[in-house]
Amino acid sequence: MNDPENAAEDAEAQDGNASSSYAVLRNRDFLVYLIGRFVASLGQQMLSVAVDWELYERTHSPLALGLVGLSQMIPMVVCTLPSGHVADNFSRKRIILATTLLLAFASLGLTLISALNAPVAWIYGCLVVIGAARTFLWPASAAFLPHLVPRSLFSRAVTINSGTFQLSSVAGPVVCGALIAILSKHHPHPAAVIYALNVAASLACFGLVLMIRRGHVVAARQPLSIRNLGAGFKFVFENKIILGTITLDMFAVLLGGATSLLPIYAKEILHSGPNGLGVLRAAMPIGAVVCALILTHRPPLQKAGRSMLWSVAVFGLATIVFGLTRWFWLSFLMLFVCGAVDNVSVVVRHSLVQLLTPDEKRGRVSAVNSLFINTSNELGGAESGFVAQWFGPSLGNTVAMGSILSVVSGGIGTILVVVAVALIWPQIRKYGRLDGS
């Protein structure tokens, strides 16, 4: 990472601290950053559940729920190139502060819209603002992390950061659901309370990030031009390892994601009802948290490239088993495995993207990474639904049969992608230690 301000810490870490699983948590700035991002993520997870709940309560329309993803994906596509340029040419800490404050204002807008029972269209307007703010936040935050920790501890920092995000993914929906259930009995607008809590969470994150001592100093600002905006894409396509890892993760998410079909599995296949759906949704984040804890207590991966390829292959295999089984707890176990091995892939990919990218391009490369992964999340849900519809009712089969064929074929496709990536980019198979040494 070649960050001069980390040189002393890097030497100290290699002298002994790196042997401790939690040495990185002794880094004050990283710990403050970690707490701030966890609080903000917890609030955002609660907000996402509350928005879906309120929209369905007010409209009773599946289309209204589908527009939630669209309203956040459009600003993400539009703002990706500018967000990367901004992250490389302005203080990343200030960008994090500004976007966090913007998220707080958007949540305040949702609070007022819900409390005043304003038209639903205003909710989508706030979601567009949230989508734009998060698009600028992601690359700045990802590129800021290498400034907080020494190079030898970076993979551990990524592991712990990923684990805390997954923990918020488990806790946020649970806490939000419980609060809505309680508030519905005593408050006419329970979603407004959730939005207000997210305002508080965003402001708390703002205060914590403000306490971070380290900053990002731009060596030389580059003018806004088509060439500079596209530098992130150019770098990704020229660096075979980064291109291969992003491609692998993108297609794995696009083909192997079964989460969008979980309501059908819970109702039509596993017959577990709403409670079972909640348990199934929690399985992957729980697996990711457990994996993060295991990785934290192990040395940095020695064969990171092979580990990533095997983890995605296991993800595809577990997806196939999940698609075929009709036993609830085996389904839960397979989703748990998917979450665990997916976390290995996330840690390796994020570490490689940051370690192999020059600091002056980290924002733009991180923006490209975010664009590919997040759009594949949205498109993956659409792909799963389309294939389930095609193999199901369109061909005269049941919805359950269509869903099974969609999930199983997606798992097979994921394994084929692993084979293709391993053959096309052999550099990935050969990549070794993940501590940057």
Q: What is the pLDDT of residues 170-197, one digit of tens each?
A: 888 888 888 888 888 888 899 999 999 9
Q: Give residue 305's pLDDT band: very low, low, confident or very high (50, 70, 90).
A: confident
Burial code of 205-233, b = ≥16 C-beta within 10 A, e = fewer? bbebbeebebebeeeeebeeeeebbebbb
Fold entry, domain 24-214: Growth Hormone; Chain: A; (1.20.1250)
Burial code of 48-64, b = ≥16 C-beta within 10 A, e = fewer? bbbbbbbbeeeeeeeeb
* Domain layout of the chain by residue ranges: 24-214, 226-437
Q: Is the pLDDT of residue 328 over 80?
A: yes
Q: What is the distance between the terminal CA atoms of the chain, rounded to a whole angstrom?
A: 11
CA distances (Å), origin 259, targets 24, 25, 165, 263, 269: 33, 33, 18, 8, 14
Q: Give residue 134's pLDDT band: very low, low, confident or very high (50, 70, 90).
A: very high
- In the predicted model, what is the mean pLDDT of the chain? 84
Provide CB contacts within 8 A for 236, sequence distance 6+: 242, 243, 246, 365, 368, 369
* The pLDDT value given to residue 304: 83
* The pLDDT value given to residue 392: 84
pTM score: 0.77
Q: Which of 4-13, 87-96, 149-158 is the most confident on average? A: 87-96
* The pLDDT value given to residue 2: 45
Q: For the segment 148-158, what is each residue's pLDDT rounded down to a tens digit?
A: 988 888 888 88
Say how many residues make up the chain: 437
Identical fold for domains 24-214 and 226-437, yes or no, is yes
Enumerate the H helices of 239-327 as residue ranges: 240-256, 262-264, 273-296, 304-324
Q: Which of 200-209, 344-353, 391-400 is the most confident on average? A: 200-209
Question: Is pLDDT larger for residue 209 or for residue 228?
Answer: 209
Considering only 55-64, 67-76, 228-237, which range has the smallest mean pLDDT? Answer: 55-64
Check whether domain 226-437 has CATH 1.20.1250.20, yes or no: yes
Q: Which of 207-211, 281-285, 342-346 is the most confident on average? A: 207-211
- Over residues 52-77, the mean pLDDT reads 78
Give the phi and the psi of residue 217 in degrees, each rounded to 5.
Answer: -105, 125
Q: What percent of the chain has pLDDT over 70?
A: 89
